[in-house]
Amino acid sequence: MTQQKALFLKEKQGAWEVSATSIPEPGAGDLLVKIEATALNPVDWKIQKYDWLVEEYPAIVGTDAAGEVAAVGDSVAGFKVGDKVFHQGWFSNNKATFQQYTTVPAEIAAKLPSNISLDEAASIPLGLATAALGLYSTLDKGGQRGAGLTPPWEDAGRDKYAGKPILLFGGATSVGQYVIQLAKLSGFSPIIATASAKHTSFLNSLGADHVIDRNKPLSELTELVSLTKSPLEVVYDAVSFPETQQTGYDVLAPGGTLVIVHVEQINKDSSANKTVTQVFGTVHGSAERATGVSLYSKLTSLVEKGEIKPNRVEVLPNGLAGIPDGLKRMEEDKISGVKLIARPQETSLLSQ
Ligand SMILES: NC(=O)c1ccc[n+]([C@@H]2O[C@H](COP(=O)([O-])OP(=O)(O)OC[C@H]3O[C@@H](n4cnc5c(N)ncnc54)[C@H](OP(=O)(O)O)[C@@H]3O)[C@@H](O)[C@H]2O)c1
């Protein structure tokens, strides 16, 4: 078989369309993965709306996959045809995940543990990478892209930050759910997160100590943070609106780091000695690759032990053809505390 179905963005800011295309070939070190589940992310609709990140059209996007190894490239060790895996994709047509087959370097793929489904596994890669790189990525040539903390999947990092508070804006976002879980493994305490009040017990179950209703004035949050015993040295803003960025910056202790997920919009105090770093949430890039390889070497075990739990998922109908409606719901801010999943193999011929 050489042909598959993919969801194409036909041109810049154009329409989505399912059509046939060739199955990519795995290069040296790569896996070819038959995708059983892919997750939708805000970046996917933002690419269509804002003409961003992608240069070549027609383009396939999508960057979360779980499925089965269909072939292995030269020099791949540790994986064989038939293994169930999950991984992050990238915005090139042979690595994106809104298609039935894709390729990925084996060093940034993880085997599926038996305690989660393929749908759940597809909710992990991009959200977890963004959380992990924001907290643990270190200085690189292009500037700081993370808080540079020691990762908890390395022995030296487990519980290293015990007794230190952390504040998170957007606890119920996909990224935020992974920030809570990683912060717990790092020992941070208390873990304070903003979210809709309905998510309180769920986020408590992931490790949040205090969940603050995100619809309350941010001034109330400032007061609560001032009650933490130790200085607030790390703030992660998983929504990064101008007002959350500014509040996060203002409550940060001198010497601390604010991690943001969008372009900085902060009135800064040049004498404050506070670092602001914008995460680039992919394990594919050269700057983040080493942290990504290290994370993926431990990821199966972290999930198997229940130390990293996937997001709650909602499976969309109609395979790849169901993705555009899901992206519309995301754009309209109608998704709350759940990851939307599509199953590419369920794309019917009528979708072509
Ligand atoms: N820089 C990067 O590389 C990178 C990578 C990944 C994602 N991102 C960005 O990070 C953001 C989060 O991505 P995601 O996939 O995790 O999003 P998501 O899960 O789709 O986000 C949906 C959630 O946003 C929450 N939310 C909306 N406004 C909020 C506010 N003012 N305060 C607190 N929570 C709020 C809602 O929380 P409630 O349900 O509690 O109301 C909802 O559950 C997006 O803007 C995305 O574009 C950036």
DSSP 113-169: PTTS-HHHHTTSHHHHHHHHHHHH---BTTB--S--PPPTTSGGGTTTTTT--EEEE
115 with 140, same domain: the answer is no
> Pocket of ligand 1, candidates 144, 175, 335: which has the most ligand atoms within 8 Å of its Cβ, to mutate?
175
Output the CA 48–ligand 1 centroid distance in Å. 18
Residues of the chain with pLDDT under 70: 139-144, 349-352
46 CA: nearest ligand 1 atom: 47
d(CA 87, CA 279): 19
CA distances from 225 to 121, 143, 163, 219, 304 (A): 34, 29, 14, 10, 34
Structural domain including 209 reads 127-278
Q: Give the residues across from 295 on adjacent strands.
A: none
* Contact in structure between 304 and 312 (CB atoms under 8 Å): no
Output the CA 116–ligand 1 centroid distance in Å. 23
Q: Which amino acid is at 330?
A: M
239 CA: nearest ligand 1 atom: 11
Residue-level pLDDT at 143 = 60
Q: Which two tokens stand for residue 289?
A: 């690759």
269 with 174, same domain: the answer is yes
Q: For the chain, how many structural domains are there in total?
A: 2
36 falls within a domain: yes
Residue-level pLDDT at 141 = 46
The CATH number that applies at residue 108 is: 3.90.180.10
41 CA: nearest ligand 1 atom: 15
| DSSP code for 170 | -
Residue-level pLDDT at 184 = 98
286 falls within a domain: no
240 with 217, same domain: the answer is yes
126 CA: nearest ligand 1 atom: 6
Residue-level pLDDT at 287 = 84
pLDDT in tens, 119-157: 999 999 999 999 999 999 976 545 668 999 999 999 999
> Pocket of ligand 1, candidates 239, 262, 284: which has the most ligand atoms within 8 Å of its Cβ, to mutate?
239
Q: With CA atoms as reference, report the closest residue to 313 among 295, 280, 331, 337.
A: 337
CA angle 80, 37, 296 (to 5 degrees): 55
pLDDT in tens, 196-209: 999 999 999 999 99
49 with 160, same domain: the answer is no
298 falls within a domain: no
In this structure, the residue with its CA closest to atom 46 of ligand 1 is: 42
89 with 58, same domain: the answer is yes
The CATH number that applies at residue 207 is: 3.40.50.720
